[in-house]
Structure 1
Amino acid sequence: MLKVGLLGAGRIGQVHAVNISGHERSTLVAVSDVNTAAADALATKYSAKSCSSDEILADSSIDAVLVATSTDTHSDLIEAATAAGKAVLCEKPVDLSLARAKECLAKAQATGIPVMIGFNRRFDPNFAAVKVAAETGEIGKSELLSVTSFDPAPPPVSYIKVSGGLFRDMMIHDFDMANFLMGAVPQEVSAVGSSIVDPAIGEVGDFDTAIVTMRYADGRLAVIRNSRRAVYGYDQRVELLGSEGLLSADNVLENTVSKATTAGVTSAKPEFFFLERYMRAYAAEWTAFVEAVVANSPVPVTLEDGISALALAEAATESARTGKPVTVSH
């Protein structure tokens, strides 16, 4: 039984607590958060202890930690946890700084302790099926990828100020999805961004609407579209065009009921936000982590994967600011 410490008791920490405690091969034994009341409440719910992150890292009986704290703490906690001999599953991104993330990679690798980055969308059953179909050649050679990711509403500006920007905070999932589905990191990134949903987002130097195009060394292309506002719900789709066909994964709807009348055909809206849309993906992600740690096998989403996505986010940020394509350094 894998004994797990949860660092972070916020919204995403609570999602992870469900999966840790509900898995047959893991148990939640400790919770920490800068908001001690939140840590106390979550720990009590799962019969765990509430303590500081330092205490969790120093506890030799704890086998693994799940890092669900603010992004600016991720690299420090990964380094401390691996130095303490604890396997790590860390929420994205690795850091707000690519240089700092690379330092973290070097230190974590030196310990030989597994670190997995929480790009949960790889474990969505629909996107995973697209990956399998593409790898087995069902559409020939993949040539053009389109990723659509629209949030139902923008977060508060107070969050935007500390998020690292749309490309590092929101689109980083889509950069990883592109790397996942195309099986490579692109060579060049071009980005354009605007603030048309909420002018206050632009006033703090960020975008709420953006398009990124990416070119691969072999000529393949990928397009990512992001918006902070889709009034009809959480819009999450991918299309992969190949030499012999097209693969697509559409939205998951609130229900499967449709109505057909003389006025037309209607169906339910997409599930409203990521907690509803990706609950199965989070559970599958945790299972994959547990199985890798228990079997001492490679984790399916590596720290290097996290750095690749962050490199694309930094390139997109630069491109959007300068209006010029940016070559990605590998």
Structure 2
Amino acid sequence: MGTSLGLIGLGRIGAFHADTLAALDSVDRLVVTDERTELTTTVAAKYGAQTAASITELLDSDIDGVVIAAATPAHAELTLAAARRGIPVFCEKPIASSATESAEVARAIEATGTAVQVGYQRRFDLAFQGAKAAVDNGDLGWLHTVRSTTMDPAPPPMDYIAGSGGLFRDCAVHDFDIVRWITGQEAVSVFATGSNQGDPGFAAVGDVDTAAVVVTMSGGTLAVISNARYNGRGYDCRLEVHGSEDTVAAGWDSGAPLRNVDPNTTFPEGPAHNFFMDRFIDAYRAELSAFVDVVHGDIESPCTVADAVEVAWIAEAATMSLRTGGPVTIAEVRS
């Protein structure tokens, strides 16, 4: 069954999604729009897509679902506009700019009854899925420690950083989501610390370029999360799950961006992952394929707005902890 999808926002991730959607056999019509009309024209010509001159025109163009890849401040408004029309939505994270707003948007979306999927692509990576299966099967026993790492080879432009909401809301949310998903536990308290050794622009907007977070989970598992904007060897995204009976890892492939100084070991052989798009190209394809199934009602949303709200509360707690220098409970930020 063919599917007609809209795509709003054609920047870095939006253009990448256009490439992925155009290659899906299940998508037979793609309608695109961006506030930069020249970009809309260019992307449409490249992929044989239809153009829309405005958001309203796109939403009124008889589409079955819409992918939102616009800038973060627009996510809430665009998601609600589509949901209120009954159009299923795939929205890149976050669903809104703050946890409080995310919770409000979640209530409004729930009232529409429209399916919404949030973009946390690690859930669709085979290695991360394998780690979750091992946990769900009880192979690891009880979980005592989870280590999740996300490090970029270089920071994005400072104008992006200024509107990103900070390292915890922009980058670490992927770690927070995968820890919740893998463990099946909720965050109880958060302690975060960070530093700046790179571009002074981070400090100027109240952000950090490097951070470490310890999250105490509801089942007693400790999640140790590390993030950095400067990891010159490449894009580093790895997960370790340690249990009383066994340990598993995801992301420890030949492209892991590290140099092993053991003279008797050649792993990882490389080349190193350069960027999140090349690291997760298959996961993005699986994620958007799943959204097509959501559009047709074949499956429930595999990453809900409620999931995104829980992640937002963790990011909020980490941001507060960084500012205060002490641990912050999720109950505190909710209140």
Range class of TM-score, shorter chain? over 0.9
* Structure 1: distance between partners of 2:11 and 2:50: 16
* Structure 2: distance between partners of 1:293 and 1:126: 26
Aligned to 1:42: 43
Aligned to 1:145: 146
The amino acid of 1:144's aligned partner reads: T
* Structure 1: distance between partners of 2:218 and 2:265: 45
Aligned to 1:279: 281
Gaps of 5+ in 1: none
* Structure 1: distance between partners of 2:231 and 2:252: 13
CA displacement at 1:254 relative to structure 2: 4.6
Aligned to 1:247: 248
Residue 9 to residue 263, structure 1, CA distance change in 2 (3 Å): same
CA displacement at 1:24 relative to structure 2: 2.0
CA displacement at 1:253 relative to structure 2: 3.6
Aligned to 1:314: 316
* Structure 2: distance between partners of 1:164 and 1:130: 29
Q: Does 174-183 or 11-20 show the bigger shift? A: 11-20
The amino acid of 1:33's aligned partner reads: D
Aligned to 1:67: 68
Task: Please state if 1:111 is matched with 2:133.
Answer: no
Aligned to 1:98: 99
> What aligned pairs does 1:182-193 form with structure 2 within 5 A after superposition?
182-193=183-194
Q: 3-state SS of the aligned residue for 2:227?
A: strand
> What aligned pairs does 1:156-195 form with structure 2 within 5 A after superposition?
156-195=157-196
Q: Contact conserved, 1:119 with 1:301, CA < 8 A, in 2?
A: yes
2:290 to 288, 291, 306: 288
* Structure 2: distance between partners of 1:265 and 1:144: 27
Aligned residues: 327
The amino acid of 1:96's aligned partner reads: S
Q: Contact conserved, 2:32 with 2:40, CA < 8 A, in 1?
A: yes
The amino acid of 2:214's aligned partner reads: T
* Structure 2: distance between partners of 1:216 and 1:305: 15
Q: Does 230-239 or 38-47 show the bigger shift? A: 38-47
Q: 3-state SS of the aligned residue for 2:190?
A: strand
Aligned to 1:82: 83
Q: Equivalent pairs: percent with the same residue? A: 39
Residue 64 to residue 264, structure 1, CA distance change in 2 (3 Å): closer
The amino acid of 2:99's aligned partner reads: L
Alignment RMSD:
2.1
> What aligned pairs does 1:215-226 form with structure 2 within 5 A after superposition?
215-226=216-227
* Structure 2: distance between partners of 1:222 and 1:317: 16
The amino acid of 2:209's aligned partner reads: D
The TM-score, its normalising length taken from structure 1, stands at: 0.94
Q: 3-state SS of the aligned residue for 1:291?
A: helix
CA displacement at 1:146 relative to structure 2: 0.5
CA displacement at 1:262 relative to structure 2: 7.8
Q: Contact conserved, 1:20 with 1:27, CA < 8 A, in 2?
A: no
CA displacement at 1:287 relative to structure 2: 1.3
Q: Contact conserved, 2:185 with 2:218, CA < 8 A, in 1?
A: no
Aligned to 1:325: 327
* Structure 2: distance between partners of 1:133 and 1:264: 27
CA displacement at 1:101 relative to structure 2: 1.3
* Structure 2: distance between partners of 1:27 and 1:170: 33
Task: Please state if 1:29 is matched with 2:41.
Answer: no
Aligned to 2:234: 233
Hey, which bits of structure 1, 4+ residues long, moved more than 4 A? 261-264
* Structure 1: distance between partners of 2:235 and 2:91: 24
The amino acid of 1:98's aligned partner reads: A
Task: Please state if 1:155 is matched with 2:156.
Answer: yes
* Structure 2: distance between partners of 1:229 and 1:240: 25
* Structure 1: distance between partners of 2:322 and 2:41: 43
Q: 3-state SS of the aligned residue for 2:320?
A: helix
Deviations 1:146-169 (A, max 9, x none): 001111111222221111110000
Aligned to 2:3: 2
1:304 to 295, 303, 306: 306
Q: Contact conserved, 2:4 with 2:30, CA < 8 A, in 1?
A: yes
Q: Contact conserved, 1:28 with 1:48, CA < 8 A, in 2?
A: yes
* Structure 2: distance between partners of 1:155 and 1:14: 16
* Structure 1: distance between partners of 2:131 and 2:209: 28
CA displacement at 1:250 relative to structure 2: 3.1
CA displacement at 1:108 relative to structure 2: 1.0
